[in-house]
Structure 1
């Protein structure tokens, strides 16, 4: 195992310390926890947003904490859900009196632990709502989930719900727009290599040099099938053939696209993939309002990518385009 780390058992805490040292004007850490919050939290009179999950997906989720996005992100150990106590500390730290929305990726541990934290917070008089993101169209159930998994489309939920909260929306309004995004965003990915959890010291699975896994999850969960590696154009077609029918798009519709790297894929390759994705959408007379290419939700050093497509209306366009100072939004 070759990694730029110190103690494999302290990677999460040391990573958080590094994030705070990078953005001391925007972010802070709740002492004794793995919770990153806005420097000015709690913001009184504003609905607060909290998300999180296992570490190893950076910049998710700490990179999306900031004005116009999340108020807090809770980091579990690598590929492991944060504990209810950690989430509870995050909720308390950001509550500004208007309630807290939890944005949860659909993994059994995350859902259970965030819901337990919500119960603890509500016992203290904090109003809490939740949404569960399930944008991955690859498989219906997986190793970690009942139902579809939450992957990179979650970042669109952070952005748009965060913008609604920043505009002064009520908890009910922020929750409603988050659900609207969830209903209208679909994603799917492929993996070319495995990745190594630092504390494990060895790859989580084996995949041949000439193979790819279609629909693999961000924790290495099995996908639809393993095949010989395909060209970028073939990968784009394969993913879009699964994503587009789920959205019910018609000629003239408007979308946002995210071409997401899983940690070990060069931007060159992501741009090549996007070339074909853009061609497919143009061929169906679907207008791309904005495209995001880069690493938004990774899987340590896994080589691979995912494509997310969000169907837009005027409200979602306005909120997607609203300003944010979250470090990882670009």
Structure 2
């Protein structure tokens, strides 16, 4: 697989340096770490931190900035950052009101973030967390016990970041996060596999006329392969799966995210968005917020995901519409 890089062993470090070059007005790097921190002045509020393996850009560092994440931790490609790196992020971001960790539901992420939380608490830093498990496609996939954390994580970043900006306490943010998670559901599909830097072969392959429903953001297996269908049929498949998960809430208000997985042109994402809107209209659903683009990718994988957020709390929509200063929102 052809990639624009120098040494695959240094690609994350060089990526971080390039981000700092391009966005030095918003972010800075904690020296000798994979931690990217916002440049805003500390104001005694709760800090929101996320992170995980690299290869999902703009997640997570693209959402560091005023009104969203205080810091993000970049691990190796598709590999959780180490506890000591996460601890450095906690210490760098702490403003004295506590630190809240947003963790995607992958075994390595949970283990390392929770270990860092324990280490930080030993240094008298108050830390809470939420585990994001929005992917409804499969359970107990590779690297995961239960449902995976995918693009819905970005909605969590936005809403909790707004709550922190508003001066909510760490206990209030924990309650908000616990109430929020059951209202976020995501599911995706892939048209191609993904090849990590330095690898000779993709993690999986699909025939030219084949797709796979439910593939994970690290190339984990999905739930079904079939011949490529028109966009409308793909949207119907994904939306039908999501509807079943909301258990009677489908008559309410929703926010939608159409997320490209890295190799899907915006043209195709907008075609899919239009089909989702038609299908939502058929169900008499109210769509009150749209987000279209690449937010949680899988390197060069062609494919996309659909995320719906049930707006059962007016605060969610208020938070989604609030302005932020980040690279990627």
Stretches of structure 1 that go unaligned for 5 or more consecutive residues are none
Q: Please state whether the residue corresponding to 1:80 is helix, strand or coil.
A: coil
1:296-311 mapped onto 2 (5 Å cutoff): 296-311=295-310
* Aligned residue number for residue 94 of structure 2: 95
Q: How far apart are the structure 1 equivalents of 2:268 and 2:181? A: 27
Q: Does structure 2 conserve the Cα–Cα contact (< 8 Å) formed by 1:205 and 1:220?
A: yes
Q: How far apart are the structure 2 equivalents of 1:202 and 1:9? A: 17
Q: How far apart are the structure 2 equivalents of 1:174 and 1:67? A: 17
* Aligned residue number for residue 262 of structure 1: 261
Q: Please state whether the residue corresponding to 1:81 is helix, strand or coil.
A: coil
* Aligned residue number for residue 66 of structure 1: 65
Q: Does structure 1 conserve the Cα–Cα contact (< 8 Å) formed by 2:40 and 2:66?
A: no
Q: Please state whether the residue corresponding to 2:100 is helix, strand or coil.
A: strand
What is the Cα deviation at residue 323 of structure 1? 1.4
Does residue 1:186 correspond to 2:191, yes or no? no
What is the Cα deviation at residue 3 of structure 1? 0.8
Q: How far apart are the structure 1 equivalents of 2:193 and 2:139? A: 22
What is the Cα deviation at residue 210 of structure 1? 1.2
Q: How far apart are the structure 1 equivalents of 2:243 and 2:325? A: 31
Aligned length: 328
Q: How far apart are the structure 2 equivalents of 1:318 and 1:248? A: 24
Q: How far apart are the structure 2 equivalents of 1:162 and 1:279? A: 32
Q: Please state whether the residue corresponding to 2:256 is helix, strand or coil.
A: strand
Q: Does structure 1 conserve the Cα–Cα contact (< 8 Å) formed by 2:243 and 2:250?
A: no
Q: Does structure 2 conserve the Cα–Cα contact (< 8 Å) formed by 1:250 and 1:286?
A: no
What is the Cα deviation at residue 47 of structure 1? 0.2
Q: Please state whether the residue corresponding to 1:168 is helix, strand or coil.
A: coil
What is the Cα deviation at residue 251 of structure 1? 6.4
Q: Does structure 2 conserve the Cα–Cα contact (< 8 Å) formed by 1:50 and 1:102?
A: yes
Deviation string, structure 1 residues 237-284 (Cα, Å, up to 9, x no partner): 100111112123556511110000000001111111111111111122
* Aligned residue number for residue 164 of structure 1: 163
Relative to 1, partners in 2 of residues 1:251 and 1:77: Cα closer, same or farther, differing over 3 Å? closer
Q: How far apart are the structure 1 equivalents of 2:247 and 2:307? A: 15
TM-score, normalised with respect to structure 1: 0.97
* Aligned residue number for residue 82 of structure 1: 81
Deviation string, structure 1 residues 176-209 (Cα, Å, up to 9, x no partner): 2222221101000000101110032321122111
Deviation string, structure 1 residues 277-310 (Cα, Å, up to 9, x no partner): 1111112221111111110100000000000000
Q: Please state whether the residue corresponding to 1:226 is helix, strand or coil.
A: strand
* Aligned residue number for residue 207 of structure 1: 206
Stretches of structure 2 that go unaligned for 5 or more consecutive residues are none
Q: Please state whether the residue corresponding to 1:74 is helix, strand or coil.
A: strand
Query: Which has the larger displacement, 152-161 or 269-278?
Result: 269-278
What is the Cα deviation at residue 44 of structure 1? 3.4
Deviation string, structure 1 residues 90-135 (Cα, Å, up to 9, x no partner): 0000101100000000000000000000011000000000000000
* Aligned residue number for residue 270 of structure 2: 271
Query: Which has the larger displacement, 76-85 or 223-232?
Result: 223-232
* Aligned residue number for residue 175 of structure 1: 174
Relative to 1, partners in 2 of residues 1:244 and 1:252: Cα closer, same or farther, differing over 3 Å? closer
Q: Please state whether the residue corresponding to 1:302 is helix, strand or coil.
A: coil
Q: How far apart are the structure 1 equivalents of 2:147 and 2:141? A: 8
Q: How far apart are the structure 2 equivalents of 1:239 and 1:14? A: 36
Q: Please state whether the residue corresponding to 2:17 is helix, strand or coil.
A: helix
Q: Does structure 2 conserve the Cα–Cα contact (< 8 Å) formed by 1:249 and 1:311?
A: no
* Aligned residue number for residue 104 of structure 2: 105
1:1-330 mapped onto 2 (5 Å cutoff): 1-40=1-40, 43-250=42-249, 252-312=251-311, 313-329=313-329
Instruction: Provide the aligned C-alpha RMSD in A.
Output: 1.1
What is the Cα deviation at residue 17 of structure 1? 0.6
Deviation string, structure 1 residues 208-232 (Cα, Å, up to 9, x no partner): 1111111000000001011111211
